[in-house]
Every structure is written in structure tokens, then in C-alpha cells.
């Protein structure tokens, strides 16, 4: 089976004709299922765009959301929309709601949005202020209370998703005994796969571009299951990277450019 991996496609920046050109490229590809590791659009448009994709592509779409998908929105509200989509649209599967997917060939797929957690780099001295803390209601409200309230909120979100990932992975590994596991997340889980112009992002940006708690969970699980191959796919930095923290565990970060969505890779598990 061939999986078409997309990431950080930001389709809200394209007009309908440009989106159709991109869909045409995907339709022409022989991959049967689509994986998207977040940053599909923004909160007011993400449901509409996902429905459009499903209708035109006619292939199952398995996805997680990125920070941009929550822009101009509130996290709970967007997530509730995604649960509805997953329930009502046969081709759309938001992985945090649909749960672990069996892809056949002893391969399973699991995903959580995952959030940057400020634990890599130097949050205290970083003067970076991402749009996240202006554009996502929950982060905006925390940020008003100060830099460390924002950090608390980021870590709360990141820890919650990492914990969910841990629980569903452990359960699936025990019950389904797969040989391969594909993990879809938005934020790079290690600094080594969080690059800017070919180098590890600076200590100013790492707190917002990486999710240490997610990496810790995945590493622990890969260490406990040496006979299983793990592949994590993420995005967010728009900067391609491959990092193999263990023989049985590879992380790929996708490349992206605003207004130029692309097929990242055809994954053949």
C-alpha cells in the first residue's frame, strides 16, 4: 500500500483554482491513502477545506491538526468540529478521534496533534513571540497573564497529547502486535529534527518548534519494543530533516513553503 504524505499545506492561502491544481496532482498519484501532519488551514476554514479534499480526492484522509489549524479559533471548538467530521464524513479521519488505524501488512497508524512544550532551547531568555499566542484564543488568554502562564498552557496541551499518544500506542502494541507503527504528529519531537537552514533551530526558537515530552514518550516506547519499527512524521518547521534516535525509530520532518503545497513523500510501509 502506498501512502501520500502531506504536511503544512496551508490551503487557506490558495484560491480555488490553485487548490484544484494541487488536488489534481494528488489524484494523479497512485497512493491510495493520504496522511497529513497538520497545518492544513485555519480554524474558520479547516473543516470546509477537509470536506473539499475528501470530495475531490476520493481517498481516505488521515490527519492531525497543527497550530495554524487553531488560528482564529478556540481549541475545544475546533476539536469538536473535527470529531463531528470524523463521525459524519466517511473519508475523513482525525486520528485523535478515530483512534488507531490498521493499515494492513502488520502496520498501524496513530496520531495526535501535539504541541510545542518550551522544554528544548532557552524559553526564559527567548524573545520570540509566535502568532500562536495572538491567534489561538486559549494561548492568547494565557499570554495576557504573562510569559510563564503561556508556558504552562503550552505544556498542559503538549503533555495531554503526549499522554494520549502513550496510552493508545501501548494499547495498540499489546493488542495488535504490529511490526510497523507510523505516528503522525505536527511538532518535531527532538531538536535534531527541528532544523532551520540545515542546522538545529536556535535556543530562541526551539521552545516553540519542538515537543520534548512527545519525543520522550516515543523514545520510551521504541526502547520497550525493539522488534517493532517506528516511523514518526511531522512538520511545523517547514524544514526537512531525518533523525534516527534508535535503530528501530526514525523521525521525518517535512519541508514546506507557503502557497506551494507539495506531496512530501510516498510512504510504502
Query: Cβ neighbours of residue 37 under 8 Å, at least 6 residues apart?
Result: 5, 6, 7, 8, 63, 64, 66, 111, 184, 185, 186, 233, 234, 235, 254
Among 19, 79, 236, 252, which residue sits at the site for Fe ion (rule: CB under 5 A)? 236
Query: CB 223 → Fe ion: shortest distance, Å?
Result: 28
Q: Which is nearer to Fe ion, 236 or 252 (CB)?
A: 236
Nearer to Fe ion by Cβ, of 95 and 222: the residue is 95
CB of 40 to Fe ion, least distance (A): 10
In the complex, what is the shortest distance from the CB of residue 71 to Fe ion, in angstroms, rounded to a whole number? 10
Q: How many residues contact Fe ion, by CB under 5 A?
A: 4
**Distance separating alpha carbons of residues 238 and 179, to the nearest angstrom:** 30
* DSSP element (H, E) containing 165: helix 147-176
Angle CA 151–153–159, to nearest 5: 100
| Segment lying near Fe ion (by CB under 5 A), choices 39-47, 70-78, 209-217, 246-254 | 39-47
Residue 199, burial from CB neighbour count under 10 angstroms (0-12, 13-18, 19+)? exposed
Longest dimension (CA), the chain: 50
Cα–Cα distance, 164 to 84 (Å, whole number)? 19
Q: Which is nearer to Fe ion, 148 or 258 (CB)?
A: 258
> Looking at 52-60, 64-72, 116-124, 261-269, which segment touches Fe ion (CB under 5 A)?
64-72
Identify which range of 24-32, 191-199, 210-218, 230-238 contacts Fe ion by CB under 5 A. Answer: 230-238
User: Per CB under 5 A, which region of 60-68, 118-126, 156-164, 259-267 contacts Fe ion?
Assistant: 60-68
97 CB neighbour count, 10 Å cutoff:
15
Q: What is the three-class DSSP state of 199?
A: strand
Q: How far is the CB of 58 from Fe ion (least distance, A)?
A: 27
Under 8 Å between Cβ of 9 and 49: no
Binding of residue 66 to Fe ion (CB under 5 A): yes
Residue placing its CB nearer to Fe ion in the complex, 39 or 42: 39
The answer to the question of residue 39 lying near Fe ion (CB under 5 A) is yes
d(CA 206, CA 240): 15
Does 67 interact with Fe ion (rule: CB under 5 A)?
yes
Residues forming the site for Fe ion (CB under 5 A) = 39, 66-67, 236
Amino acid at each position: 500500500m502506498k501512502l501520500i504524505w502531506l504536511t503544512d499545506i496551508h490551503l487557506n492561502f490558495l484560491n480555488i483554482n490553485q487548490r484544484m491544481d494541487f488536488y489534481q496532482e494528488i489524484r494523479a498519484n497512485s497512493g491510495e491513502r493520504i496522511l497529513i501532519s497538520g497545518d492544513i488551514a485555519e480554524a474558520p476554514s479547516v473543516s470546509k477545506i477537509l470536506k473539499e479534499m475528501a470530495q475531490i480526492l476520493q481517498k481516505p484522509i488521515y490527519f492531525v491538526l497543527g497550530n495554524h489549524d487553531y488560528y482564529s479559533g478556540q481549541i475545544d471548538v475546533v476539536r469538536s468540529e473535527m470529531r463531528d467530521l470524523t463521525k459524519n464524513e466517511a473519508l475523513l479521519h482525525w486520528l485523535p478521534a478515530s483512534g488507531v488505524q490498521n493499515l494492513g501488512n502488520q502496520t498501524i497508524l496513530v496520531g495526535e496533534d501535539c504541541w510545542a512544550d518550551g522544554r528544548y532551547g532557552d524559553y526564559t531568555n527567548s524573545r520570540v513571540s509566535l502568532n500562536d499566542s495572538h491567534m489561538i484564543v486559549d494561548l492568547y488568554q494565557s499570554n495576557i497573564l504573562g510569559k510563564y502562564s503561556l508556558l504552562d498552557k503550552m505544556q498542559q496541551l503538549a503533555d495531554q497529547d503526549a499522554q494520549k499518544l502513550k496510552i493508545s500506542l501501548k494499547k495498540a502494541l499489546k493488542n495488535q502486535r504490529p511490526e510497523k507503527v507510523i505516528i503522525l504528529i505536527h511538532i518535531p519531537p527532538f531538536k535534531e529534527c527541528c532544523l532551520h537552514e540545515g542546522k538545529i533551530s536556535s535556543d530562541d526558537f526551539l521552545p516553540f518548534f519542538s515537543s520534548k515530552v512527545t519525543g520522550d514518550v516515543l523514545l520510551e516506547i521504541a526502547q520497550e519494543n525493539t522488534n517493532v519499527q517506528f516511523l514518526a512524521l511531522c512538520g511545523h518547521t517547514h524544514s526537512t530533516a531525518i533523525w534516527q534516535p534508535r535503530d528501530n525509530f526514525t523521525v521525518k520532518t517535512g519541508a514546506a513553503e507557503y502557497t506551494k503545497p507539495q506531496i512530501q513523500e510516498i510512504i510504502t510501509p
